[in-house]
Structure 1
Amino acid sequence: MVELTAGHKPNNPLAPVIGLSFFAIASGFLMSLIPLSLNAFGLDNELASWLASVFYLGLLIGAFFIERIVTKIGHRHAFMVFLSLLIVSVTAQLIFPKAHVWLLARFVAGIAVAGVFVVVESWLLMTDTAKARAKRLGLYMTSLYGGSAVGQLAIDPLGTSGALPYLFVIALLFVAMLAPLLIKSGQPQSHQSQKLQLTELKQLSRPAILGCLVSGLVLGPIYGLMPVYIAEQSAQAAFTGTLMATVILGGMLVQPLVSYLSTRMAKSLLMALFCLFGALGVVGIMQAVHFNVLIASYFILGAASFALYPIAITLACDALPIEKIVSATEIMLLSYSFGSVFGPLLAANLFDSANGIMVYLGGCLFTTCIYMLIKSLKSISTDNTPVAG
């Protein structure tokens, strides 16, 4: 077997981006497959919101200790460990189709996915300039959401019943492991990582933390409940895979724009604008009469929802030295995970109507828009205050 290398430069993004792309296809398909395959395995549809929430609970718990694992064994080995853990969880779901096993498996999967996110994000963000960070994070998000969108398209040809869809996911995760297994150079030096102190935590940008939180509050229901919502709409049910792919495709295609704008305008204002567009997308979905308008509205909702996290995390890392990046990404993931745990439960139970999830998403995005707009205006006012003396 020929050993591949990522070149002689430190922190080469080749291995994480290749591995992430296959992981994203598998993960994107799995996120929609799980709620849609419940009946086929004799499980209740009401389990869907709990499976989504317990997954994000695993994401939340995992965010507390991942940094220590990455620091101890390095980014490359940590990437392979977390992918292996995810494979074990999916295999358990396939072999033991019981509610309690699935809940435990999704909790473990959440920990594994948290590990993948922290490893890849910190691997790519550990560079010296804000411009390079924005460009690399754009590459990360494009790979993540592009793979997720492709994964949605597997719903129609593979179906949502039987072992085949889950075997497809497992095979893709094995392929994802090949990149860090074969590309042995290019990971960041583990000794660079330092934990953020309590005083430094207080100085982290509040809009950044809230942006990650709201991203979780919105994306949790989109991943966990949106496939069920679409399948229950008589005019949309036949296009479940296509519409979910459209949501995530919007998230993928907006990433170059996010990278371009995030270094040219205030990030809190940028998040306010995306939240406003997302709220308009929700209105479009609820009011659409023509299918083209529906497609466009789902695309806009996806673009806005998936834009929040990369903007927020780059805002958090802008003023940090490179050795603090792993710790910062862990904290941002913690904020995202906290939102993701409660998002599906709130979306499922807060509004008792056919469009409850849409009302919830619109409310989250619009209120966040107002907050970010206020913060950006305060920032502009502070910057323009003349200095006495």
Structure 2
Amino acid sequence: MARTLISIAQLLIAVALLETGSGLQGVVVPLEARTMGFSNLAIGLLGSGYYGGFILGCLAVPALIHRVGHIRAFAGFSSLVAAGLLAHTLLMTDALWFGLRMVVGFGFAGLYIATESWLNDLAPTATRGRVLAAYMLVSWAALIAGKLAFGWAGPVDSVPLVLAAIAVSLAILPVAFTTMQAPGAQAGAPPVLGRLLAVSPVGVLGCLGVGVANGTFWTLAPLFAEAGGLDAMGVGLFMAVAILGSVFTQWPLGWWSDRVDRRKVIVFTCLFASISGVVLAGSFGRDAHVLQIAAFAFGASALPVYSLCVAHANDYAPNQAFIEVSSLLLLVFSLGAVIGPPVASLVMDMAGPAGVFLFTAGVHASLVVLVLIAISAGRAASQAEKGAFVAVPRTTQAVLALDPRAAGSGAPGDVATLGETEGEPPAVRDDAGFNGERGPEEKETPGDPPPA
């Protein structure tokens, strides 16, 4: 394993620089937009623009990398993101910023896909799970560092945006000067919608709702923190402790969900996230320590829900379709993140800054109701049918091949199509209402152990 980590060290350094820049720009853009007098709706649409560009990147970038290779693609997308961030300091209208957010989102999708597919190529099958863990550890640490860097830089003119652009630009160096062999050009099968909703309604609706709530959080929470009286360091810390909360609870919640009906854990986390949102809204303008503690609780409950929903959906999908299902759920999440921020901004207009978390509380409460209905309508997957929980990075579909659960999905880049796998159609129906489709109890090999 040590030899593997040494071989990917240059890529992990690049990831650290990318995530630092990403974390920093995620805080500064909404706050700078507020300074420039943008309306709540305009700021919400900036978040939609970023995630819209991210979706386009997830769909279009793999073919581009197939044509030009990983190193050229990485260098090009780094330049695109850096230029987009710097252009924020020159173009001062909300319409132009919306376009820039799409450019930056598209560029970050390209960077993540190039990096993650390269990591997958370098990682031996036996160590992919540990490589994924190292990747997530570096990503989380750098993302937290980026949030805290805003507190160090402060809202001084365009300094934070310039620093974010510098971090992204520097990420080119370990890639450009690497002696590692870049992967050969591979064209993966594009994800198709197929029968994803039939595979797991709870997984699909859960990822959509989580996208709505989390997209709102990343876009508008800095405005809430600043309006609540926190200084630059306080705003950065507010965002950082939320991420830290999710780091502490991802694996305990996953361990619990492996042993009980996963939907019950989703209900618990969504209920706790809803309560945390109400507490945050009620704590607006109070002591900074109260806000930080509430942010930790919100992150600990709201941010892990995506991984739980992905794990639940894959309990009901054939092993060969893991990458396809997870890729589609990522796009569903991103679609929710496009929808959430502008809708939440309208709630802010009516309820003030506290409306951000009143909105997320409502979304999480709705998910609680939907999942409880599903629990009452259909049975849970058995222990034999469930795969082991893995905390899923919410970046791009390229990282999914590193997930140990993808071992049965074929070679990297190969994607099984739902309904076209060997044997009978995939198992479906995590709740009632899908007549004629097989439930978990009708899988061909119910006694098989879960995928590695």
Answer yes or no: same fold by TM over 0.5.
yes
Farther-moved stretch of structure 1 (349-358 vs 254-263): 254-263
Q: Does 1:349 align with 2:382?
A: no
Looking at structure 2, the residues matched to 150 and 76 of structure 1 have their Cα atoms a distance apart, in angstroms, of 26
Matches within 5 A, 1:182-197: 182-183=177-178, 185=180, 190-191=185-186, 193-196=188-191
Match of 2:240 in 1: 245
Farther-moved stretch of structure 1 (17-26 vs 334-343): 17-26
Farther-moved stretch of structure 1 (246-255 vs 195-204): 195-204
Match of 2:280 in 1: 285
Match of 2:219 in 1: 224
Match of 2:166 in 1: 171
Match of 1:49 in 2: 44
Q: Any conservation in 1 of the 2:267–2:367 contact (CA below 8 Å)?
A: yes
Match of 1:208 in 2: 203
Offset, 1:101? 2.7
Q: Any conservation in 2 of the 1:192–1:322 contact (CA below 8 Å)?
A: no
List per-residue Cα deviations over 1:336-358 (Å, max 9, x = no partner).
22111111111111461122111
Query: Aligned letter for 1:44?
Result: F
List per-residue Cα deviations over 1:44-77 (Å, max 9, x = no partner).
3543222122212212333332332344445555
Q: Any conservation in 2 of the 1:194–1:323 contact (CA below 8 Å)?
A: no
Match of 1:27, SS state, is: helix
Looking at structure 2, the residues matched to 77 and 270 of structure 1 have their Cα atoms a distance apart, in angstroms, of 43
Structure 1, unaligned stretches of length 5 or more?
1-5
Q: Any conservation in 2 of the 1:121–1:329 contact (CA below 8 Å)?
A: no
Match of 2:427 in 1: none
Match of 1:278, SS state, is: helix
Distance 1:365 1:377, change over 3 A: same
Match of 1:93 in 2: 88
Looking at structure 2, the residues matched to 282 and 30 of structure 1 have their Cα atoms a distance apart, in angstroms, of 24
Distance 1:124 1:284, change over 3 A: farther
CA RMSD of aligned residues (A): 3.8
Query: Aligned letter for 2:333?
Result: Y
Offset, 1:221? 1.4
Farther-moved stretch of structure 1 (357-366 vs 244-253): 244-253
Distance 1:225 1:386, change over 3 A: closer
Distance 1:229 1:333, change over 3 A: same
Distance 1:190 1:377, change over 3 A: farther
Match of 1:20 in 2: 15
Match of 1:3 in 2: none
Which residue of 316, 332, 336 corresponds with 2:333?
Answer: 336
Farther-moved stretch of structure 1 (221-230 vs 179-188): 179-188
Looking at structure 1, the residues matched to 68 and 259 of structure 2 have their Cα atoms a distance apart, in angstroms, of 37
Looking at structure 1, the residues matched to 199 and 134 of structure 2 have their Cα atoms a distance apart, in angstroms, of 24
Distance 1:20 1:314, change over 3 A: farther
Q: Any conservation in 2 of the 1:26–1:169 contact (CA below 8 Å)?
A: yes
Looking at structure 2, the residues matched to 136 and 377 of structure 1 have their Cα atoms a distance apart, in angstroms, of 39
Structure 2, unaligned stretches of length 5 or more?
384-439, 443-452
Query: Aligned letter for 2:84?
Result: S
- Relative CO higher for 1 or 2, CA cutoff 8 Å, sep ≥ 6? 1
Which residue of 300, 304, 307 corresponds with 1:307?
Answer: 304
TM-score, structure 2 as length reference: 0.70
Match of 1:233 in 2: 228
Looking at structure 1, the residues matched to 4 and 149 of structure 2 have their Cα atoms a distance apart, in angstroms, of 37
Matches within 5 A, 1:151-162: 151-162=146-157
Q: Any conservation in 1 of the 2:44–2:219 contact (CA below 8 Å)?
A: yes
Distance 1:333 1:68, change over 3 A: farther
Query: Aligned letter for 2:281?
Result: M
Looking at structure 2, the residues matched to 76 and 314 of structure 1 have their Cα atoms a distance apart, in angstroms, of 32
Query: Aligned letter for 2:369?
Result: I
Q: How many residues align?
A: 378
Offset, 1:227? 1.0
Farther-moved stretch of structure 1 (214-223 vs 336-345): 214-223
Which residue of 139, 161, 165 corresponds with 1:144?
Answer: 139
Looking at structure 1, the residues matched to 247 and 106 of structure 2 have their Cα atoms a distance apart, in angstroms, of 24
Match of 1:64, SS state, is: helix
Query: Aligned letter for 1:146?
Result: A
Q: Any conservation in 2 of the 1:15–1:179 contact (CA below 8 Å)?
A: yes
Distance 1:70 1:317, change over 3 A: farther
Query: Aligned letter for 1:331?
Result: L
Offset, 1:311? 3.3
Q: Any conservation in 1 of the 2:59–2:190 contact (CA below 8 Å)?
A: no
Looking at structure 2, the residues matched to 357 and 135 of structure 1 have their Cα atoms a distance apart, in angstroms, of 36
Higher helix share: 1
Query: Aligned letter for 2:213?
Result: V
Looking at structure 1, the residues matched to 325 and 10 of structure 2 have their Cα atoms a distance apart, in angstroms, of 22
Looking at structure 1, the residues matched to 334 and 232 of structure 2 have their Cα atoms a distance apart, in angstroms, of 29
